[in-house]
Each structure stands twice: as C-alpha cells, then as structure tokens.
Amino acid sequence: MSDVLELVDVSVVREGHALIDQVSWSISEGERWVILGPNGAGKTTLLQVASTYLFPSTGTAAILGEKLGSVDVFELRQRIGLAGASMMERLPSDQTVLQVVLTAAYGMTVSWREQYETTDEQRALALLDRLGMAHLTGRKFGTLSEGERKRTLIARALMTDPELLLLDEPAAGLDLGGREDLVRRLGALAQDGFAPAMAMVTHHVEEIAPGFTHVLMIRQGKVLTAGPIDTALTARNLSLCFGLPLTLERRGDRWSAQGLPLG
C-alpha cells in the first residue's frame, strides 16, 4: 500500500519540454527514500509535485491519500515538511531561529503574533536541540552559517509533525564536519520509528545516512531505477544515472563512489 505518495505517469511540461517525464513512483509508510540524479534531472521538480507546489501536466499524484487537483492544498501542505533552497529564500532574515521554526506551526513564514502557545515553543526548542541548534535559538536567521541554516530548516520542516518529510540537498554547501554531523542527525531521524516517511535529494552517495531504505535514480526527467537500496544502489545503476563509469563502495552502513581512472 502506497499511502504516503503515489505518482502514476506524472509529467511536468514547460515550454514543450518535460522536466519530469512519465514518472511513476510510490512511497509507503516507514520508507526513507534517497533521490539521486545529475544537475537538471528533475529532482527538485519532483519534490515540488510531492509537496503540492506543482501540479502534474499529465498523470496523477496522490499525496497522503489525497489526489492533487481535488483537494485543498493548503490543508495538505500542513501535513508535509519541506526543507530546500526555495523555502530558505522565503524566510525573513531578521527573525530569530526560534521564530523561524515556530512560525511553521501557524502555516506561515512571517511572525505576526507576539504570543505563541507554550507547548509550541517547547516543541520548537526540542526540535532545535535535536538538530544541534540549542545554543543558537536567539540568533537572527540571516546571520547563520550555511550548515546552521540547513539544520534550522529541517527543525522547521518537522515542526508541524508532518507525515512526509522532503529534503532537497540538505547537505549541499556543508564542510566535511558539517556534513558528517548532519548525516548522523538524519540517520537518527531515519531510524526513528516515529519519524515521518522521508525523501531526500542528494548528489552524493556519501550523504546517504544509515536508515535510508530506498533509492530513486532519475536522469533527464525519467526514472532509471527505484527500489530498496540494497538491490537498486549499484555501481552500474549509478554509472548510468550520472553518465560516467563509477565504482561504488559500501563500508558498514555508509557509501562512497569514485570515477574510474582514465586509460
């Protein structure tokens, strides 16, 4: 049963060009998906459909049991947590970290009331603590480093206790320590049985946290492979996806990939 997400033959067409092309993909409860694909493959477009911000040109999309086109997306959005660059741009830089997370509980990006429920504030503080941001809750969002912003956005995405969590390149721009810290935290989340179903876009297999269960690879808008990580994440599939010969190594529950030497 694909009760979290079910896309059937979904295409998004702009200017006669399919950004995603007849994509069929489903997420069931408890699954944690990694989405891999080269620049321009359609990953962000796919997450925009999954988060109800884009409607398919053709095909059908059901999200959390509701069919896009016949449901109030504003209600549905409350049940989906989204962290990506487009969300980052919408957040006012002069709000504090705590406000940025707290406003998500009220379905907006701008803080308008002085009084929030104490329980909401406690929840926001607990989420920030979980993401390693407890010492920065009073800081202005605009003054944060890239990594601190990303962690704030993930806390924000979790604030409404979503049933589906979508992360678009959460580790992009982080230094090695920042990446490893984030992978550890995402791993804890992925392995938490009470955490929502997840789909995370990344370019790097090194960013796949333990606990992720499935992988979707897309290239030029089309699904190349979709299935359990153990069987679908192979050197062959990865090479086809990125268009060059790659080796893939698994050490424990982490992955690494390299191009084959020339000659």
- SS3 at position 238: helix
- Which is nearest to 233 in space by CA: 263, 262, 212? 212
Q: Closest approach of Cβ 161 to ligand ATP, in Å?
A: 27
Cβ–Cβ under 8 Å, residues 84 and 169:
yes
- CA 155 – CA 157 distance, rounded (Å): 5
Q: What token pair was written down for 185?
A: 């935290």
Judged by CB under 6 A, the residue of 14, 67, 184, 236 near ligand ATP is: 14
Judged by CB under 5 A, the residue of 44, 52, 202, 225 near Mg ion is: 44
- CA 193 – CA 196 distance, rounded (Å): 8
Whose Cβ is closer to ligand ATP: residue 78's or residue 86's? 86
Q: Which run of H or of E encompasses 153? A: helix 146-158
Q: Closest approach of Cβ 51 to ligand ATP, in Å?
A: 13
Q: Closest approach of Cβ 161 to Mg ion, in Å?
A: 26
Residues 32-71 that bind ligand ATP (CB under 6 A): 37, 39-45
Q: Give the one entry of Mg ion, ligand ATP, none that residue 81 binds, where binding means its C-beta sits below a cut-off of 5 to 8 angstroms depending on kind.
A: none
259 touches ligand ATP (CB under 6 A):
no
Residues near ligand ATP, by CB under 6 A: 14-15, 19, 37, 39-45
